[in-house]
Amino acid sequence: GQLTSYTDCSGKTTQWKYNALGQLAKLINAAGDATEYQYEAGQLVLLIHPDKTTERFERDAEGRLLSHTDALHRRTAWTYNEAGLIHQRHNANDTTLTYHWDKLGQLVRLRNENNSEASFKYDPVGRLLKETGFDKETTHYLYDNGSNLPTRRVDGDRTTHFEYDPMGRLIQRKAARRGGDKWEVETFAYDGNGNLLAANNEACRLQWFYDAAGNNTREHQWLDYLVKPQVAVFRHEYDALNQRIATTRPDGHRVSWLTYGSGHLLALKLDDQELISYERDDLHREIGRVQGNGLVQRQTWSPNGQLLEQTLARQGESRRIAARSYRYDEAGQLCHIDDLNRGDLHYRYDPVGRLLEASRNYEKETFAFDPASNLLDPEAPPNPNPHSPHKLMDNVLRSYCGTQYRYDERGNLQERIENGKIGKFTWDLYDRLRRYEDERLVVEFGYDALGRRVYKDSRSKYRKRLQAGPVWNENARRALDEKLGCDLTLFIWDGDTLAFEQRGRDG
């Protein structure tokens, strides 16, 4: 009753082979690349990739993972307590992460590689009441009416209230500063099938419409933040398999897709003009694309699925405009890029996979980390005690390459000081950047209720000249705005994908 082969609609076949116990022993993909699996006492102990690199696993009699060793012989090990819960992870660089549990199996403390601790406190029915992070900042959770969903959260100077419908879906959240009376409110609504119908806040109102199959056929984005509010409408079309095949954007352009199989893209059209066509291999990976401007991109893949080479040329010409080849170490980490235009780039990593060095020709950039993987200033003087390296005990970067950083009590960057120049950051009560200011300009940002940025409004700090007239001052201000790139930018979204940007205050 086990699947041994599958041939898709394109005639591409994948095969599976099993051992005498019915365990998967070999997987052969449609390109003929084989991945092998070996077992001992019923447990996977060896994984052999198509390029013959290996990963080794060690498990106890209960099947719990005790160690993993990659192709570079870097070993990560785990230990467990009497209840079978993970107690400690021992990393390949000889650091440890330790877990502490109560008698009910709830995580109560987590000690990181810096020996800093985060802690958690629960009520008698197992609901999280208090969380203290590595930075010692505390978040409190409160519950109403026996709900398992928090109705209030208090952290730093912020209080957030949550309201749910009878199905447990969030219908409203509002946040205010402690002691304040100004609330930032976001609301949500759903249909009987659980589809999101509306999501509203002060900056933007969103509406979705669905067909009988549950496909999103239309989305309205009400741009309430504009001086003259507008609505952006997306209209979507689907095939018989409920795959989206076309979208008409708010600017009137229709984008359509030609797909095959389970949705693999073959071509993209804008209105009636084909913009891009794609070529795919037996695994349906992109190996070529022809753009509407006559440029042809080619790429190849390793047996392990890693990108090996990319080239760009004009259609019908052999001369390459751009080319890159990629090389990886045995653990799959990118270690070398040979770029036709930029030359060679090399990368070096530490035993836990953190990037230590990037070099090109005679240029070199180095990186340093504390044991808990917090970025450190590589130019900082070394600690005189080699057995006690620099550590960021609160997991917060305060200085890097001569730049100083300051944070608010919720951990958001508040001030950046670089070469004596100060940049100030202001955040909303949902931790989204709302304002940036320095000596040159002020930038304000807005978001919809899904957290997508919907506008950026930047203005230069122009100082009027009293001896000049209003027309001269306005022209000078516009010139300074243009020099600094200041303008109003609208961001229009199609789901989680940025569909397009629109710049200008007059559009």
Extract the tokens encoding 23. Answer: 């365990």
Q: How far apart are CA 325 and CA 356, in angstroms?
A: 21
Phi, psi of 475 (to 5 degrees): -65, -40
CB 163 within 8 A of CB 151: yes
Which runs of consecutive H residues, i.e. helices, occur in 348-488?
A: 470-484
- For residue 220, CA distances in Å to 31, 32, 78, 214 come to 44, 47, 50, 17
Residue 325 host element (H or E): strand 320-328
CA angle 23, 26, 32 (to 5 degrees): 155
DSSP, res 374: -
DSSP, res 467: T
- Dump pLDDT digits (tens) for 405-457: 999 988 899 999 999 999 999 999 999 999 999 999 999 999 999 999 999 99
CA 438 to mean position of chain CA atoms: 28
Neighbours of 472 (CB within 10 A): 12
End-to-end CA distance of the chain: 63
- Dump pLDDT digits (tens) for 355-372: 999 999 889 999 999 999
Exposed, middle or buried: residue 250 (CB in 10 Å: 0-12, 13-18, 19+)? buried
Q: How far apart are CA 42 and CA 328, in angstroms?
A: 32
CA angle 458, 463, 464 (to 5 degrees): 120
- The number of CA neighbours under 13 Å toward the Cβ of 218 is 7
Query: Looking at residue 437, what is its pLDDT?
Result: 96
Residue labelled with tokens 């601790």: 117
Q: For the chain, what is the radius of gyration of the CA atoms?
A: 28
Q: Greatest CA separation found in the chain?
A: 93
Extract the tokens encoding 166. Answer: 């009878």
Query: Looking at residue 382, what is its pLDDT?
Result: 60
CB 469 within 8 A of CB 477: no
Q: How far apart are CA 113 and CA 424, in angstroms?
A: 32
- Dump pLDDT digits (tens) for 385-406: 555 556 666 778 888 888 999 9
CB 128 within 8 A of CB 143: no
**Among 55, 158, 243, CA closest to 432:** 158
Any idea where the domains of the chain sit in the sequence? 1-69
Strand 170-177, strand 158-164: pairing? antiparallel
CB 423 within 8 A of CB 436: yes
Low-confidence ranges of the chain (pLDDT < 70): 380-393, 507
Query: Looking at residue 507, what is its pLDDT?
Result: 56
CA angle 379, 382, 388 (to 5 degrees): 135
Q: How far apart are CA 237 and CA 216, in angstroms?
A: 9
Q: What is the pTM of this model?
A: 0.86
Query: Looking at residue 381, what is its pLDDT?
Result: 63
SS (H, E, C) 259-302: EECCCEEEEEEECCEEEEEEEECCCCCEEEEEECCCEEEEEEEC
Query: Looking at residue 392, what is its pLDDT?
Result: 67
CB 184 within 8 A of CB 199: no
Q: How far apart are CA 87 and CA 104, in angstroms?
A: 15
